[in-house]
Amino acid sequence: MDKSWKINDALLNDFFPYLVPGRSVIVHQDYGWGSMPWIPITMELLADSVRWVDGMKAGSHVFYLERELPTEVLRNGVLGLRYEEKLRLMESAIERRDGWTRGMLELSRATLIADQHGSAAGLEEVADVAEQHSDPYVLTCLEYVRDALQTDSTAAGVRHGQRITSR
């Protein structure tokens, strides 16, 4: 559901205010998918309020809401943040994780870089991730991100689905 910067901000504004500290959990299906930087950036902004519980490979990541969420983040979202702040938050998210999740967040960083500096810069970052990670799940996502940066995300999504089903 959280498939764009705008949808992410709408969720923060419209739904997150109703979460209850000590009772609510946030389940992000795509936290560990390497082309949606707004999700880890958001969770970094909420880091003082949530605790990471667990993440399932090729699946959801769960965060437990321990404290009130910052009103400013809920109201303003992440789309309007300066690029440097988004990159800083992305780096912080990467530092918190290891293994395949780290590789996926590094791919999200590549997407963020491409949004700011163009596809060539994003593809350089993707090449760096390819050199550092051998996990098949990371490499599958890497194929998708590379394809999306070279063409467009819709066509890349179709090809990604075809690759997955033909394996």
Q: Give residue 104's Cα distance to chain centre.
A: 8
Question: Is the CB of residue 48 less than 8 Å from the CB of residue 67?
Answer: yes
Please tell me the least confidently modeled range out of 103-107, 141-145, 161-165. 161-165
Q: State how many domains the chain has.
A: 2
Q: How confident is the model at residue 122 (pLDDT cuts 50, 70, 90)?
A: very high
Q: Are residues 11 and 65 in the same domain?
A: yes
The whole-chain average pLDDT of the chain stands at 92
Sequence-distant (6+) residues with CB within 8 A of 56 are: none
**Alpha-carbon span 148 to 42, nearest angstrom:** 23
- Of the chain, the percentage scoring pLDDT greater than 90 comes to 81
- The neighbouring-strand residues paired with 50 are 65
pLDDT value, residue 2: 72
Q: Is residue 146 a part of any domain in this protein?
A: yes
Q: Are residues 12 and 61 in the same domain?
A: yes
Q: Are residues 72 and 108 in the same domain?
A: no
Q: Is residue 161 a part of any domain in this protein?
A: yes
Q: Are residues 105 and 64 in the same domain?
A: no
Last residue of a domain, one of 76, 111, 130: 76
Domain with 47, as residue range(s), is 5-76
Q: Are residues 102 and 56 in the same domain?
A: no
Q: Is residue 81 a part of any domain in this protein?
A: no
Q: Taking residues 101-129, report their average pLDDT.
A: 96
Q: Is residue 16 a part of any domain in this protein?
A: yes
Q: Is residue 93 a part of any domain in this protein?
A: no
Q: Give residue 54's Cα distance to chain centre.
A: 15
Q: Is residue 71 a part of any domain in this protein?
A: yes
